[in-house]
Amino acid sequence: MLDYSEQANWENGFGQIQSPINLSTNDNQHLADYLPIHADEFYQLNTEIDDHTTIRLLGMGNASIFERPYHFQQVHFHAPAEHVIDGQVNPIEIHLVHENDVGQTVVVALFPQLGNANPDIQNIINNFEGNHDHSVSLKIHHQINDFQTGFHYLGSLTTPPLTEGVEWIVINNSNLTVSQSQVDWFIQKFGKNNRACQPINQRNIQYYHK
Amino acid sequence: MLDYSEQANWENGFGQIQSPINLSTNDNQHLADYLPIHADEFYQLNTEIDDHTTIRLLGMGNASIFERPYHFQQVHFHAPAEHVIDGQVNPIEIHLVHENDVGQTVVVALFPQLGNANPDIQNIINNFEGNHDHSVSLKIHHQINDFQTGFHYLGSLTTPPLTEGVEWIVINNSNLTVSQSQVDWFIQKFGKNNRACQPINQRNIQYYHK
């Protein structure tokens, strides 16, 4: 099982473009545009998995990302959040993992703010069965709309094997909320499962903000 | 210096999506379309480098690849060719390396057929100075036109550090030629510098052929 207290010892292959990273709305190259992503109004979730370090749900859905077709594959959660934006650590980070037909990966990261309970997350919590992967029929509704602002950069998976070449879209204007008790449920169940921020090195990060 | 006779011992990080590979016009997913690439009529080359295992020329130019902007960075040569198409090993393979603003790499591979001497390659040979990186002012003319057919897959650099996540566009309808004496010049100067084909593993390869 993944031990976040030993994450400094996780092995990785090349190590120069790892995720997560610290992001800043001031320092990066600004593009006066919305992020070029468009997704189905919902993604259909069909399998819920106890990863022991998080909940992972497999599913189906379609998205256009930078004008190219991608398939939604799975969603999972990190609490607290992994990417740090303008020094702020959000309570939770949702990772929507997409892949295209030749195997390129795009992860869309969302940061619900503390507020009302999130109905999709509540369904996922209610359906959770520890140590038991099982079929579900859930949807995640309209998580990615057409007017998102945020960051685009090249990084890695945030859990082993920490594979690089992963394209990140980190959305910072999501209007999702999550309740404190939902966040507490994740941390009580799995412990804190956020990887520490990694060196940016020579990477160029683009900030889309219309 | 890179030793191609010891290439089985080159270290790589993850190793599951390495390049080059064997490609087949029959076996792969067919897309009834041209490759979605468009490049400047020429790329400007400004520095010629003796890599000891090949000639590498740095330069500038712009391309649109899958509707996204990329910058041409460098061109280099492998003789014999690295990618094997329908079992055929071509005499030489040209790698045009492109990068976008967030650091994603696309390599366009071209395979001149034996025939007349290639004038661009002859300029590069004539300008070569062993052990001495130097400025040049050369162009490569119209290597990528708008009606290319060929393969698209996700792989790696073919020389150490063999970094994965490299997007390959392997063009098989190039109308370029190269003379036997030009091929002989490369092999006499550098020895055979083609990496062996690597396992395809679970990769999906797309073949664009209108």
CATH code: domain of residue A198: 3.10.200.10
**Residues on chain A touching B163 (C-beta within 8 angstroms):** 14, 164
Residue A3 lies in a domain: no
For the ranges A51-65, A100-114, A136-150, B75-89, which has the lowest average pLDDT?
A136-150
Residue whose tokens read 């080159």: B10
pLDDT digits (tens, 9 = 90+) for A87-97: 999 999 999 99
User: What pLDDT is attached to residue B13?
Assistant: 62
Q: What pLDDT score was predicted for residue B180?
A: 98
Per-residue pLDDT at A28: 81
User: CA separation (Å) from B78 to A11, B118, B190?
Assistant: 33, 15, 9
- Residue B14 confidence (pLDDT): 64
Inter-chain touch A205–B102, beta carbons under 8 Å: yes
Residue A6 in domain? no
Q: How far is B95 from chain A (nearest CA, A)?
A: 20
Give me the interface pTM, i.e. the ipTM. 0.83
- Residue A7 placed within a domain: no
Number of cross-chain residue pairs from A and B with Cβ atoms under 8 Å apart: 62
**pLDDT at position A2, please?**
79
B129-148 confidence digits (pLDDT tens): 988 899 999 999 888 888 99
Taking contacts as CB-CB distances below 8 angstroms, the residues of chain A near B101 are 29, 204, 206
Which two tokens mark A15?
A: 């190590």
DSSP per-residue letters across A137-151: EEEEES-S-TT--EE
B2 lies in some domain: no
Residues near B107 by beta carbon (within 8 Å), at least 6 away in sequence? B95, B96, B97, B98, B166, B167, B168, B169
pLDDT of residue B206: 96
Position A168 scores a pLDDT of 98
For the cut 80, the answer to whether the pLDDT of residue A3 exceeds it is yes
Rounded-to-integer distance, Cα A19 and Cα A162, Å:
8
What are the residues of chain A with a beta carbon less than 8 Å away from any beta carbon of chain B?
A: 12-14, 17, 29, 66-68, 101-104, 152-154, 161, 163-167, 203-206
Pairwise CA distance, residues B112 & B208, whole Å: 19
Q: Cβ separation of B101 and A167 shorter than 8 Å?
A: no
pLDDT confidence band for A14 (50 / 70 / 90):
low
- Domain for residue B9, yes or no? no
A176-188 per-position pLDDT tens digit: 999 999 999 999 9
Which residue from B66, B153, B161 is facing A68, i.e. has the nearest CB? B66
Searching chain A, which residue's CA lies closest to the CA of residue B29? A101
Residue B197 lies in a domain: yes
Helix (H, G, I), strand (E, B) or coil at A48: strand
More confident residue, A1 or A10: A10
Domain count for chain B, please give it: 1
Proportion of chain A above pLDDT 90, given as a percent = 80
Determine whether B76 is exposed, middle or buried from the number of CB atoms within 10 Å of its CB (0-12, 13-18, 19+): buried
**Residue B3: inside a domain:** no
| Range list of H helices, chain A | 119-127, 180-190
**Nearest-5° angle of CA B21, CA B24, CA B27?**
115
Q: What is the mean pLDDT of chain A?
A: 93
From the candidates A30, A64, A101, which should be mutated to test the interface with B, based on the most B CB atoms within 10 A? A101
Say which DSSP state B98 is in.
E
Residue-level pLDDT at B2: 78
| Nearest CB neighbour to B154, from listed A12, A102, A205 | A102
Q: Which of A102, A105, A151 to mutate to test the interface with B (most CBs of B within 10 A)?
A: A102
pLDDT, mean of each 10-residue run, chain B (210 residues): 82 82 91 93 94 95 95 97 97 97 96 96 94 91 89 95 93 95 97 95 94
Give B39-75 as a 3 state SS string. Answer: ECCEEEEEEEEECCCCEEEEEECEEEECCEEEEEEEE
Asked if the Cβ–Cβ distance from A167 to B102 is below 8 Å, we say: yes
User: Domain range holding B153?
Assistant: 14-208
How far, in Å, CA of B186 to CA of B197, rounded? 20
The minimum CA-CA distance between B167 and chain A, rounded to whole Å, is 9
Spatial CA neighbour of B69 closest among B20, B106, B33: B106
What letter does residue B88 receive in the DSSP assignment? B
In a domain, B124, yes or no: yes
C-alpha closest to that of B144 among B113, B111, B117, B121: B111
